[in-house]
Every structure is written in structure tokens, then in C-alpha cells.
């Protein structure tokens, strides 16, 4: 033990709000000489072994720090740091998506840490609520004592100086209770705020995942094939006939014209005109030969003699 640890013995102990707790009468040390617990004589409550980490030496007085306060401060520090690191991890992944696999391992570590801190938060919140109830009961007891002293003073059972002394002491106790209640409420508010920050981090994680998914879909659609509603190819308009184009532009289907001229009906040849039919076949053969002949660059005028010869043979 160092000199300060040895000098702790025999000093009065007060809590953080000035209320007397007792007096240090001894210590229990580990095998390496470090102090584990400090024995405090608390009067009617007897001897209490308090962990050395809950005591702070200030001059001739030893200040006692409640365990709920140490646990709450440790919780706020650890959860705040974990949330800040998670936010930094999300920012890194959002800036460089290639580091997602590397960040996944660290992300799981911080995520498990948050889960363990949630259990610690429930335990601390329960202890804070219990302490608030205990302080409220103490406050009621002090107010009852003060009111009864006032009745005694009004009934001339005690002097005014005694009544003023009672008011002074009870006022100090109520002031200490109010200070501790205010600190507990402040810690509860800070825990609630940091819990909202943790929930916001989880929301940001979901939004970041959704944003990454949307970015992947957009990239995949641009690089690959995009499914669209099938449209009419542009070359269909080029293959349309004039009749179809005009019908489609009018917005009504084109109906067949039933009044068009019928095809010419050829009469059955008779025996008397067999020679004329033969002459016509000769003319048709000549026309077919003329059509199958190669085209001549110069444009020829129709032969009037051929028409005359055909007419004469028909007669």
C-alpha cells in the first residue's frame, strides 16, 4: 500500500452530497498489497465492506461514490464509444463498398457488444428506479419529521431554537435527496438519449443496406439487359403498304370494296371460231417470246404492222 492508502484509516466518510456515512476502521488487501475493500463503521448499520474503487480521498474526508453511479458512467462511456465506432464503420463502407467484407467482422464484434450493453442498461435502469423509490420514501419520512416538529413548536412543546435546529438538519437532508434525485434523473435522460442514438445507428444500417441494394440493381440493369414493355419496331412502318398506312392513320380498319369490277369471264370457244383461237395462241406465243427477250437500251416504238396482221388473221 502507498502512503495515501494507509492514511485512509481513521478518516470520516461522507457521500457525494455531504451526508455522513461512517468512519474507516480498516482495509482488506490482496496478496500483492493492493486494497480490495475498506471497512466502514456505519453506526446502527454495522460494519460495511466497501470496494476501494468507490472511495475517493479528499483531504481529511473520504468520499463515498454509489455503485450505481460508477456502473452508469461506465455504461455511458462504453456505449457511446461503441455507437461512434459503428457510425464510423458505416461511413467507411458507404464510401468504399469494396471494404464491406473486411468490415463485417468488426461489425459483428460491435453488434455483440451492443447486445451485452443492452442487458447492462436494463440492470442499471432497474437499480436507478429502485433508488428513486428509496429516496422518495426518505423524503416523505423527513417531511413527516419536520411537520411534527412544527406541531410541537406551535403547541409550545419545544422552543423556537430547537425548532430552527430541526429545520436546518432536515433541510440539509432534503437538499441532499434532491441533488441525488436530480443526478439520477439526469443519468436516466442520458441513457435514453444514447439508446435513441443506438436505434438511429440500426436505422442507418438498414438504409445503407437498401441504398447498396438499389445501387447494385441500377448498375446491373445498366450493364445487362433491361426488361421493358415491348414496343413496335421502327421497321414495321417501312413495310406497310400505302393502303395499310392510310387505314392506320384514320384509326379505322380498311374494309374490302365489294363494288369493284369483276374479273372478265372468257366465253367457251366454239367450233366455228377454232381458227381464231389458234391465231390468238400464236399471238400470245409471240408476246411471251418478246417478253423473255433481253431488254434493249433504246426505246422501240410499237410495230403497227403486227397489230394489223393480228387483226387480219382474226377476221
Confidence of residue 283 (pLDDT cuts 50, 70, 90): low
Q: Quick check: 161 pLDDT over 60? A: yes
- Whether the CB-CB separation of 163 and 152 falls below 8 Å is answered with yes
Q: Helix, strand, or coil here: 299?
A: coil
pLDDT digits (tens, 9 = 90+) for 210-244: 444 444 344 444 444 444 444 444 444 444 444 44
Per-residue pLDDT tens digits for 119-140: 889 999 999 999 999 999 999 9
CA separation for the pair 265, 275 (Å, rounded): 20
Percent of all residues in the chain with a pLDDT value above 70, rounded to a whole number: 60
> How much is the pLDDT for 249?
44
Domain annotation for the chain: domains and CATH numbers: 3-65 (2.30.30.240), 68-217 (no CATH)
Q: Mean pLDDT throughout 71-84? A: 91
Edge-to-edge strand list for the sheet holding 47-51: 47-51, 35-41, 20-29, 12-15, 61-64, 55-58
Residue 51 pLDDT > 90: yes
Q: What is the pLDDT of residue 246?
A: 46
Amino acid at each position: 500500500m502507498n502512503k495515501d492508502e494507509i492514511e485512509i484509516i481513521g478518516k470520516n466518510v461522507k457521500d457525494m452530497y455531504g451526508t455522513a456515512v461512517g468512519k474507516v476502521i480498516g482495509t482488506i488487501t490482496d496478496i500483492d498489497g493492493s486494497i480490495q475493500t475498506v471497512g466502514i463503521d456505519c453506526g446502527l448499520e454495522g460494519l460495511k465492506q466497501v470496494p476501494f474503487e468507490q472511495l475517493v480521498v479528499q483531504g481529511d474526508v473520504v468520499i463515498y461514490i454509489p455503485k450505481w453511479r460508477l456502473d452508469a458512467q461506465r455504461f455511458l462511456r462504453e456505449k457511446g464509444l461503441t455507437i461512434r465506432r459503428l457510425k464510423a464503420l458505416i461511413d467507411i463502407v458507404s464510401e468504399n463498398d469494396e471494404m464491406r467484407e473486411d468490415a463485417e467482422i468488426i461489425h459483428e464484434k460491435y453488434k455483440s457488444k451492443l447486445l451485452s450493453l443492452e442487458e447492462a442498461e436494463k440492470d442499471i435502469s432497474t437499480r436507478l428506479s429502485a433508488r428513486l423509490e428509496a429516496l422518495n420514501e426518505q423524503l416523505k419520512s423527513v417531511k413527516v419529521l419536520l411537520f411534527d416538529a412544527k406541531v410541537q413548536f406551535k403547541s409550545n412543546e419545544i422552543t423556537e431554537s430547537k425548532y430552527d435546529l430541526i429545520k436546518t438538519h432536515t433541510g440539509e437532508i432534503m437538499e441532499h435527496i434532491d441533488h441525488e434525485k436530480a443526478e439520477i434523473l439526469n443519468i436516466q435522460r442520458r441513457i435514453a438519449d444514447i439508446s435513441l442514438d443506438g436505434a438511429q445507428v440500426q436505422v442507418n444500417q438498414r438504409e445503407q443496406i437498401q441504398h447498396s441494394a438499389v445501387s447494385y440493381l441500377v448498375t446491373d440493369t445498366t450493364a445487362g439487359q433491361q426488361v421493358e414493355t415491348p414496343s413496335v419496331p421502327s421497321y414495321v412502318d417501312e413495310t406497310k403498304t400505302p393502303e395499310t398506312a392510310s387505314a392506320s392513320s384514320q384509326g379505322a380498319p380498311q374494309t374490302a370494296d365489294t363494288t369493284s369490277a369483276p374479273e372478265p369471264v372468257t366465253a367457251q370457244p366454239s367450233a366455228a371460231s377454232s381458227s381464231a383461237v389458234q391465231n390468238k395462241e400464236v399471238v400470245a406465243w409471240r408476246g411471251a417470246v418478246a417478253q423473255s427477250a433481253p431488254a434493249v437500251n433504246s426505246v422501240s416504238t410499237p410495230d403497227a404492222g403486227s397489230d394489223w396482221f393480228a387483226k387480219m388473221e382474226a377476221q
